[in-house]
């Protein structure tokens, strides 16, 4: 399972295309933070999904759900990651469930 995530949001595509210097700086920082993490790839991607869901940032969920799936996460693990913040963040996390699970369809 090593498909390339293709579900980058329209907003992020504009960011990459229209502000390449900022995008490069962002990607450099994100990569450095990822390398500094003690988490394995699957755990890191599931954790990131939980944060996106808690913040209500659904546009990035499909891309990061693909990364989690490609790192070995199951449908159930992705759903659990999205819902882990339900008691703390409230039902805002539920909005991220459909786009997260959509990566397992088809």
- Render each residue's pLDDT in the chain as its tens digit; 106 residues: 444 445 788 898 999 999 999 999 999 999 999 999 999 999 999 999 999 999 999 999 999 999 999 999 999 999 999 999 999 999 999 999 999 999 999 7
Residue 45 and residue 88 in one domain: yes
User: Structural domain of residue 32, as residue ranges?
Assistant: 8-37
Shared domain for 61 and 18, answered yes or no, is no
Provide the pLDDT for residue 6.
58
pLDDT value for 8: 82
Q: Do 62 and 98 have their domain in common?
A: yes
Backbone conformation region of residue 64, classed left if phi is above 0, alpha if psi is from -120 to 50, else beta: alpha
Residues 65 and 106 in one domain: yes
Same domain, 15 and 55: no
pLDDT value of position 2: 42
Do 55 and 18 lie in one domain? The reply is no
84: in domain: yes
> Is 94 among the domain residues?
yes
45 domain-assigned: yes
* Residue 14 sits in the same domain as residue 63: no
pTM of the model: 0.86
């Amino acid at each position: 399972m090593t498909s390339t995530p293709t579900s980058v949001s329209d907003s992020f595509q504009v960011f990459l295309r229209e502000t390449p210097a900022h995008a490069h700086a962002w990607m450099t920082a994100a990569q450095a933070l990822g390398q500094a993490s003690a988490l394995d790839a699957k755990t890191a991607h599931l954790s990131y999904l939980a944060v996106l869901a808690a913040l209500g940032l659904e546009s990035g969920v499909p891309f990061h759900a693909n990364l989690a799936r490609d790192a070995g996460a199951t449908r159930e693990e992705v759903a659990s990651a999205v819902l882990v913040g339900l008691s703390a963040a409230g039902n805002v996390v539920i909005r991220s469930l459909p786009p997260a699970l959509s990566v397992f369809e088809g």
